[in-house]
Structures are given as C-alpha cells and as structure tokens.
Structure 1
Amino acid sequence: MAHIDQYHFYERDWESYEQLRESFEWEIPDQFNMAEYVCDRWSRNRGRVAFFAEDEAGDRRTLTFRDVQIEANRIANYLSEAGVTPGDRVGICLGQRPEAAVGHIAVWKLGAVSVPLSTQFGDDALAYRLDDCRAVACIVDGSSVDTLRSIRSDLEALETVLTIGADPVPTETTWDAVERRSPQQFETEETNADDDAIIIYTSGTTGEPKGVRHAHRLLLGHLPMFAENFMETGTADESVFWTPVEWSWIGSLFSVVMPTLYYGQPVVAYDTDRFDAESAFGLIERYGITNLGAPTTALRMMMQVDDPADRYALETIRHVAAGGEAVGESVIRWARETFDGAAIEEVYGQTEANLVVGDCHSLKEPRPGKMGLAAPGHDVAIVDPETAEPIDEPGAVGEIAVRYEGNPVCFREYWNKPDRTDRKVRNGWLLTEDFGTVDEDGFFSFEGRKDDVIITSGYRVSPEEIEEVIASHVAVTDAAVIGVPDEDRGSVPKAFVVTSDDEWRTPELKEKLENRVADRLARYEYPRTIEFLDELPTTSTGKVRRQSLRERDGIADS
C-alpha cells in the first residue's frame, strides 16, 4: 500500500507558503481504514519500531509495527468473537501505553467505533460516556477498572470487558489471555473514508459532554499541519515523537500518535499518573526525541527545572508544538534557548476540527503573539458570531470558523444531538466558539472562548493575554483569569495564581503582578483581585477549567 502523495509535500521545494497552500488539494480515497495506514502497511518491515514504551517504575520495552499488527489482530478476533460488529462502540480507557493505540487499531480493523476515555474519569463521567454512546465493550487498565466495575450494572449495553494490569473477575477477560489464545491473523474490514471510526467526548467545561463523531478521513485531515514538521529537514525519517498528555483526547491521539504512525515513525509511550518535568527531560535524552507536543502548562512546569540543557542531552529536539492555551513569548524564548534553536509553534484546533492553524517556520517567519496561518487545505476565517458571515476587516474581533464541507478534519456531527450540530455548523462554517482576529497577512490571533472573554468598560479582554503576563513572573508557575461582576465596569478580571513557593504569597507580589499587567497591557486589563491557589482546576485534557473558578466564586451555576 503506497503512501498518498499529497501528504508528502515536504519532500518538495516550495518558494513560499502561499504557493504550498494554493497547490494543496485533499486526496481522500473512497475506501480508507486508518488501521491499514497506521499499522498494516508498515508491518512487512519486521524491524521497524512503532513504540518505545516505559513506565514510572522504569520498565522498558520496544514494539515494532509487526508486533502492533499481531496484537491488534488478536484483539480484533477476540472482540469479533464476543459479538462486536461494524458500527458498534468500544471504550478505550487506558493510560499512555502501546495497548491504547493497539486497542483503537483493533476496533478500526473490525469496522467498529472506538471511544477514548480518560483514566482520570470518576464514576459519573465514565458512566455518562459509556451509556451515552451505548458502548458494547470496554478495554480498561488497573487504574480505572474499579471505577468501571462500580458502574457496570448500570450500563445495559456493555457486555464485554477486557482488562490490563488487573486481576479479572469472572465476567472479564485479560489482555494476556487474549494474546495467548486468540489467532494472530485478521483481515481488516473494508471501510469508506466517511464511515464512523471514533467518538471523542468534549471536555464539557459547560453543560454535559458531547460525543464528537469522526470518520476514518479524520486522520488525513490532520496530516497537512503535521507534515509541516518535516519541512525543517525535508524528511520524516529518524523522527521520534512524544507528548506527555494521556492518549484520550484529539490533541494527543491525532496531533501526535496516529499521524506519527502514519508516517512509519516511532512514538514514545510513558505510562505515569502525573507529569514530572524532570522525567520529561530524561525521556528526551533517553530516546532521542525529535518532536515534542505539549500543553503550555507542561512547558511552564519544565521551565522550573534548573539548567536542563547543562544536565541533559537535548540537541535532538527539532520541533516543539504547544496547544490548548496561548503559548506566550516567555515560553517561546525559554524553549528556543533550552532546545538549541528548535522551531517552536503554537497550534490551534479543537475536538470538532483540529490542527487548522499554526506556523510553518521553513516558509514563513512566525509573528510574536500570533497563532499562525491557516494550514494547507483548511479555509479558516473570522465570522460574525450571530450571522456566521465572514468579517473582512483585518484585526476585527469575531468567531474563528472553519469551512465545513469537504474538509476531512471536521466532525460529522454530535452523537444524538442534532440541535447542537445545527448550532455548531451554520452558513457552511464550523463555528469554533472561540473569539479571534486575523491580520492583513493571514496571521490569526486567539482572543478567548465565547464564555471566557471579559467585557470591561466596553473593552474585550482576553484572559489568556493577562495569564501570560502574570505567568512570566519568576515567582509564578501558573495563572488563570476570569471575569467577575463589577458595578461600575460590568466585569473586571480576577486572577488565580500558583506560586513556586509559599513565601511568595504576599500583598507585595499581588501589587507587582497588578502593575506588571497594567504596564505591559493596559490599565483596564489589570486584575482587580488576585487569589493564591495551590493548584488550578483542569480538565482531563490539561486545560484550565475556568468554569470551576467561576463556580468557586459563586458567579456560575454548577
């Protein structure tokens, strides 16, 4: 099975980014199954590495694409024998380990639909998702098996449970048992590119989570921006990718894991309960990681490690991509210094349409404070949030929107929520619910979520902008900003701050941070109140959960 030419544009020389965008056209085969492209076609080279795996205890193993194919075939055979059929939903609730990817691949081989689930979910969160999508099977590891067992009697559709790293009860089967008994040959189901492949639930910062239905074509929609990574070297060869984020959301599974496998390169899988910045540097050195994809929060934690470039060999890093929140100049400067001039880019997208905006360093000089340009194949615009009509004025604030029709990265619809789909896709545009701007040269800036933008004295204030200024102070490790009611101004910013040491929690630091924002941004943007916290509330994807901060202050309904 040959590669699809359009997604290897990095092998050509381009005069400009504009030339690349104008030349790019989507190439989507009628029949397309992700399992064949991320696994089967590479398995003939029996020595080709797919995963370098390690856990917190230091146990290490290496899996080839052939190993992955055999394991996926065994799991697919087991699920098929258990009654899973094309179109059925199968939950994947595993930590960052090769079996998580194998589970998805096995489900796709069947023509079934995988449902990634965070190992951080409690009873209600896990039960809601499995029940909402009517999952008939679930693959779960030791960190979540007790949670699943406690809710299983309430899940009428769930008939099959496959466990890893847990002593099974009589109604369950272990992964090891399947590997011993299940046949290693399986013929991958023929699927259309538009057939359902995965349902990813949104973080649910407001309201109940929504199941985002994506087809097999989803993978192809991620490739243009991902392939821009390789334009720095002109080849995908000898690349090693890692993200510290668990593989239960689109920003890790399809921004890093599956595209890396599509190009036949290895992924580092590090199974741990929490992110440790010191360990991250050790992984980079140990596996020669070339491409790091991380939330800005993780990069800020790595900034707290003393002299990493002197203590670790980090020269293999060529590219750092950050998303989920604004990156900021302080993080960019640190990353360039620490990783010896590596390309640092902010990428933008969401569960419904991911990797649609970012930088292409080899063809266009990045601009400070900007997210970047629309990626090849993606038509992105700023539209009026009420009418969904494009706004032509450069710099005008509006809603970031992605052209929906013909774009493989765009979701099909929300699972069982047609009214929400109708509100999400209007006038031919997928509305992101994010405010932003675009300048005369096509560079996009992020202003904030619809429900996060602070309107104070008639000004629109982006919380991310204030957070970046506060977080760049030496005493601060993280910050979050919300709008709180104010009788005179409508609302004013309030900051929640995490410091590197308790001794920094003083009225003097509050005053310094207020002045810092007022001096660097504007007087109307400085936080009128600053509250110190031990840690910020986050979603399972690592994003700051501002809704929880509003609830904490009694200004939002639970």
Structure 2
Amino acid sequence: MNVSSTSYEDFVKSFQIDIPENYNFAFDFLAEQARQDPDRPAMIHVDDAGVRKDYTLGFFELESNKLANALRKLGLGKGDRVMLILHRRVEFWISMLALHKIGAVAVPSPALLTAKDIVYRVNFARIKAAIVDGGVAPVVQAALADCPGLRTLIHVGSGEATLPARGWLDYAATVSEAAETFPRPEDAAGGQESLLIFFSSGTTGPPKMVEHVHTYPLGHYTTGIHWHDLRPGDIHLTLADTGWGKAVWGKFYGQWMAGAVVFVHDFRGKFDPAKLLALLAEHKVTSFCGPPTVYRFLIRQDFSGLDLSSLRHCTTAGELLNDGVFHAWKEATGLAIYEGYGQTETTLQVATFPFMTPKPGSIGKPSPGWDVVLLNDDQQPCAPGEEGEICIRLDGGNPLGLFTGYLDEPEKTAQSRAGGYYHTGDKAWTDEEGYLWFLGRVDDLIKSSGYRIGPFEVESVLITHPAVVEAAVTGIPDPVRGQAVKATVVLAPGYAASEALTKELQEHVKSLTAPYKYPRVVEYLDELPKTISGKIKRAEIRTRDIQEAGKAG
C-alpha cells in the first residue's frame, strides 16, 4: 500500500493495494492489530452531556468477541441479517465487528425510521434480529406484529423511553457471561461474501438494498489515508449518524487502518454548531469532515477564543460547496476544504486530495482504481466542458468498493450496469485540467430554452443571500421554454415572503451566475421535503408542481 505522493499523477501511477485472500476486517485488521498493540488508542467518545471516554483497539477486540459469542449462542450466524439502530453509541462499532466475526450481515439504519419504515425494511431484507438503542425500542415494538421473521431483539440502555415488557434482551446482560475469545472459524465469512447492506435514501421511490462484501473496508483505505490525510495518532471527526453509509466512510474502517483515532460526538437532537467548534478545539481534533451545510453554520459562529491550532485538514462531501463558504472557512481557520464524491453504492470515486490545489465547487479528480468516464446522451465520452453522466468503466472488473448490486432487484441492477459501465445517475463536467464539477442528479437537470441547468449551481448562489437558509431548484413546465427554473426557498428569521424579495433574489442570481439560470418562479415554504437522511426530495416538488399545473389547466 503506497501512502506518500507529491502529485496526482504520481499518486495514480504508484497506488496499489493488496487484497488478502478471504479478507475479513474484524480478523485481519482488528484482531491482528489488537494482538500487536492492544493499548493503541482507537476512539474518543463524547456523549450528549459532554462526558468523554477513551477506548483502545484491545477494548473493541474484547467486547466484539463477547458479543460474537453471545449472538452465536442466540442462534445467529453466517448470512443472517441484523438491523442496527444505535445512534452514535460505542455499541455500534462493537456490534458491527461482532457481526463481521460471525459472518452475519449488518444493516445499519437511522434512528428516525418510523414503524412503517421498519416493517418495509425488515420484511424486504428478511432481517432476523435487531440491536437497537433503548429509546428506539418502542418504535421497533410497534412494527413487530407485521414483521414475523424478526425474532431476536436486543436493546442497549433504556434512555427516556419505556421499554417493551416482553421479548427483549438487555445488551449488557446478554454479553456479561460471554467468553472473551472468539477464534476465527474455519468457515469464517470473507472476501466476496456479504458484509453489510445499506438502504438507499429513496429520493425517487422506495429505498433499495445496496450490498457490499468483505473487501469493501479496504476500499476506504483511500478515504482515510489519502483524502482525510490521516497519520498515526491523528484524531478524526466525520459528522455522520451511524445509520448511513457516511459513518463507515469516516468513522471506522479507513480511519483505523490509517492509525488514527475516531472522534465520536454522540449528540441527540438538534445540531449545535457552536458546541461542535468548541469540541474541535477542546479535544484537539486534527482532521474534520462534514457536509457543506454544516460548514455554512460553522462560519457564522464566533471563532474568538477558540484554539483550533490542532486542526490541519478539512474535507466535505454530499452536496455542492459554495465559494463563499470555502473562502469564509479559510479566512477563519487558515484551512482549505477538500471536496470528495461517492455514493452509498461505492467508496470514494472522485476527490480533491491534499497534494492537489482545491477549486471551490469542484469535486476533484478520479480516485485510483476508479475509471471515471462522463457519457453524453448518446453514451459517448464527453469532451472537456461537455456535461455528461458520471460513469465507471467496468471492462477491467469491478473497482474495489463498488457494490454487488441492488438485492432482489435484478432489473435495477442491470440498468445501473448497462453498456459495460456503472451509471451513477449523477451529472458533471470536466475542465481542461481534469477536475470534475458536479451538477446534480440526471433527473434533476433542467432543460430551459436549449440550456441545461444544474440545480446545485443555482442553489449555491441563492444560499449566499442572507435571506435564504435553504433552497431547492427544480424545473416546471413552460410552454415557451420547455421548462422554467423554479426556486423553493426557506427563509431566515426576520425575513418575509414578498414580491420585492422575490425580485431581489432573482437579481442576486443574475449578478452571480449566467442570467438565463435565474429562477423565474420563487415559492416560499417553512421547510423543504427531505428523505430521512436529509436529502432534498426535488422529485416530490416536481410532482406537486405538475399536479398543480394540471389543476390550473
């Protein structure tokens, strides 16, 4: 595994990663590293009350062994699917590792799921067991009558909720008498066998099951070592809930393989930007990754009196980074923000690496091992400046970290791999230096008077206006233009919707981007429709607009 590089070209040329036969992260990394250095720091965990606890690799090896033995005693084993709803509790990492050891398939899930969501996911994925936070147990209980296959239930703590009286096992009691060693079984899962399942966030329909195999953690070596720029002893914080793929991107595999300490802030409720900044300073975090929305909140805070001298590298992904946010953060901290791009279905496909000059708004260049091609509507490669779909060429085999497919949905899997490419469904263009510029989902692009307009670029401008907290840009039917640009806006406190404000926002967009991109229609809402992962449901806005247009017609 090559670590040091001085240029992108050198990086791609020299990069290599060895894949051990039948690789299993829990045995090949954790057990081996804990044997060599059980006291190596692995995690700093700060709960909602600010209480800090430090954990070592030896701790995770011991506790995952105990849980693995307990789960096996309960009848769980290779191939069984287990739902995890654990917020950012330390038990999430223990449970993941234990499931890797017994060969069961982890299904990380967010705590915001409703009983209806749980019924759908449990039955679709044929989930046999669930390990959940005590505060979530009543929601799972409400779903049980419609989940006949869900038979093993374990709660971690009780929280504020009243736990169901029967049918639940207490986590602490379950592992208290379990053996502390768990030798690697002869038939241990590994290699191309199933490791975990993520449910996609479902912006345009029911969520799909995205399967990854046991080599998937190795795909995040690039994430931790090269994109997050981690070195042994570094403290890294990725702001993500454990119910989503970004948690294993930034709070687990790649960071531990880099020798870094994972910093976990297990907050509940509303995100507090001032508190986050204080934590970065107090605990001397050296590397931070958060979505652009979080950076937008952070730059509004008071930095005076904060010692952020330990912080040396910052990254972002998930949406477009606005120029103003990039420069405001750099002015406040002296640090650039390095963007990256990937999906639930993949590991890091494209990134601005530390040895590259970041261009605000660009997601960077392809990661080694990912043969990225932009294809136009005729399925031909795009020239620089031409917009196309981000695709991955597969004629050389699957890149390390690419999902196996959408389980039980062969037609959707085949569609995503049509023509010898993995089709991401996302659009971008490439500049003359090979940097990619993200435009949005293929279905989200607006075609107006012959122009193709990406929603992110208009949203990026709108949110620089002090009146706008959030914006979703969509296309609405227009008899002359085909589609017209519409902005659905959430206003900041102190601002009210008016014709004057609409005109002001339109002029603001015209002044900062091409005039043809300005929103001809502006709608004001108290909140935008979103998935439970926080992604804007532009398709829902479009559908509602079409229905309203039909009624008006």
TM-score, structure 1 normalization: 0.92
**What residue in structure 1 maps to residue 21 of structure 2?**
30
Backbone CA RMSD of aligned residues: 2.0
1:407-453 per-position Cα deviation (integer Å, ceiling 9, x unaligned): 11100111111111100012221100011112333211111101111
1:394 aligns with 2:390: no
The CA distance in 2 between the partners of 1:555 and 1:291, in whole Å, is 46
The CA distance in 2 between the partners of 1:295 and 1:316, in whole Å, is 20
**What residue in structure 2 maps to residue 263 of structure 1?**
258
**What residue in structure 2 maps to residue 123 of structure 1?**
115
**What residue in structure 1 maps to residue 368 of structure 2?**
376
Which of 165, 168, 171 is equivalent to 1:172? Answer: 168
The CA distance in 2 between the partners of 1:501 and 1:156, in whole Å, is 47
- Shifted more, 283-292 versus 221-230: the winner is 221-230
Which of 220, 233, 238 is equivalent to 2:233? Answer: 238
Equivalent residue pairs, number: 539
Kindly provide the amino acid, as one letter, of the partner of residue 321 in structure 1: T
State the 1:267 CA deviation: 1.3
Deviating above 6 A after TM superposition, structure 1's stretches of 4 or more consecutive aligned residues are: none
1:360 aligns with 2:353: yes
1:321 aligns with 2:333: no
**1:419-430 matches, cutoff 5 A:** 419-430=411-422
Kindly provide the amino acid, as one letter, of the partner of residue 257 in structure 1: F
**What residue in structure 2 maps to residue 3 of structure 1?**
none
Which of 314, 324, 339 is equivalent to 2:333? Answer: 339
Question: CA 1:173–1:536 in structure 2 vs 1: closer, same or farther (change >3 Å)?
Answer: same
**1:174-253 matches, cutoff 5 A:** 174-189=170-185, 190-229=188-227, 236-253=231-248
Question: CA 1:366–1:251 in structure 2 vs 1: closer, same or farther (change >3 Å)?
Answer: same
SS of the residue corresponding to residue 310 of structure 1 reads coil
State the 1:399 CA deviation: 0.8
Which of 285, 297, 305 is equivalent to 1:289? Answer: 285
The CA distance in 1 between the partners of 2:497 and 2:286, in whole Å, is 38
Retained in 2: the 8 A contact 1:38–1:263?
Answer: no
Kindly provide the amino acid, as one letter, of the partner of residue 401 in structure 1: C
1:243-263 per-position Cα deviation (integer Å, ceiling 9, x unaligned): 222012222222443211222
**1:340-489 matches, cutoff 5 A:** 340=334, 342-362=335-355, 364-385=356-377, 387=379, 389=380, 391-404=381-394, 405-489=397-481
1:188-214 per-position Cα deviation (integer Å, ceiling 9, x unaligned): 443332111011110000111110110
State the 1:219 CA deviation: 1.3
State the 1:498 CA deviation: 2.5
State the 1:102 CA deviation: 1.3
Runs of 5+ unmatched residues, structure 1: 1-5
State the 1:554 CA deviation: 5.1
**What residue in structure 2 maps to residue 42 of structure 1?**
33
Retained in 2: the 8 A contact 1:357–1:372?
Answer: yes
The CA distance in 2 between the partners of 1:524 and 1:290, in whole Å, is 43
The CA distance in 1 between the partners of 2:310 and 2:500, in whole Å, is 42
Question: CA 1:555–1:433 in structure 2 vs 1: closer, same or farther (change >3 Å)?
Answer: farther
Q: Percent identity?
A: 32
Kindly provide the amino acid, as one letter, of the partner of residue 485 in structure 1: P
- Shifted more, 153-162 versus 407-416: the winner is 153-162
Kindly provide the amino acid, as one letter, of the partner of residue 167 in structure 2: T
TM-score, structure 2 normalization: 0.93
Runs of 5+ unmatched residues, structure 2: none
The CA distance in 1 between the partners of 2:491 and 2:238, in whole Å, is 25
1:330 aligns with 2:324: yes
Which of 92, 103, 107 is equivalent to 2:99? Answer: 107
Question: CA 1:541–1:243 in structure 2 vs 1: closer, same or farther (change >3 Å)?
Answer: farther
The CA distance in 1 between the partners of 2:413 and 2:102, in whole Å, is 27
Question: CA 1:159–1:447 in structure 2 vs 1: closer, same or farther (change >3 Å)?
Answer: same
SS of the residue corresponding to residue 353 of structure 1 reads coil
Kindly provide the amino acid, as one letter, of the partner of residue 373 in structure 1: K
1:437-477 per-position Cα deviation (integer Å, ceiling 9, x unaligned): 12333211111101111111111101100011111123322
The CA distance in 2 between the partners of 1:246 and 1:96, in whole Å, is 6
Retained in 2: the 8 A contact 1:482–1:546?
Answer: yes
Which of 14, 20, 43 is equivalent to 2:11? Answer: 20
Retained in 2: the 8 A contact 1:224–1:377?
Answer: no
SS of the residue corresponding to residue 468 of structure 1 reads helix
State the 1:526 CA deviation: 0.5
The CA distance in 2 between the partners of 1:81 and 1:498, in whole Å, is 52
The CA distance in 1 between the partners of 2:413 and 2:250, in whole Å, is 23
State the 1:291 CA deviation: 1.4
Retained in 1: the 8 A contact 2:225–2:258?
Answer: no
1:494-553 per-position Cα deviation (integer Å, ceiling 9, x unaligned): 112223313354433322211111122122211112223333333233322223333454
The CA distance in 2 between the partners of 1:462 and 1:327, in whole Å, is 14
Retained in 1: the 8 A contact 2:203–2:536?
Answer: no
State the 1:132 CA deviation: 1.0
- Shifted more, 459-468 versus 45-54: the winner is 45-54
The CA distance in 1 between the partners of 2:88 and 2:223, in whole Å, is 23
Retained in 1: the 8 A contact 2:321–2:360?
Answer: no
Question: CA 1:284–1:89 in structure 2 vs 1: closer, same or farther (change >3 Å)?
Answer: same
Question: CA 1:25–1:64 in structure 2 vs 1: closer, same or farther (change >3 Å)?
Answer: closer
1:51 aligns with 2:49: no
Retained in 1: the 8 A contact 2:68–2:102?
Answer: yes
Retained in 1: the 8 A contact 2:24–2:190?
Answer: yes
Retained in 2: the 8 A contact 1:318–1:343?
Answer: no
Which of 57, 67, 72 is equivalent to 1:65? Answer: 57
- Shifted more, 486-495 versus 412-421: the winner is 486-495
SS of the residue corresponding to residue 69 of structure 1 reads helix
State the 1:403 CA deviation: 2.8
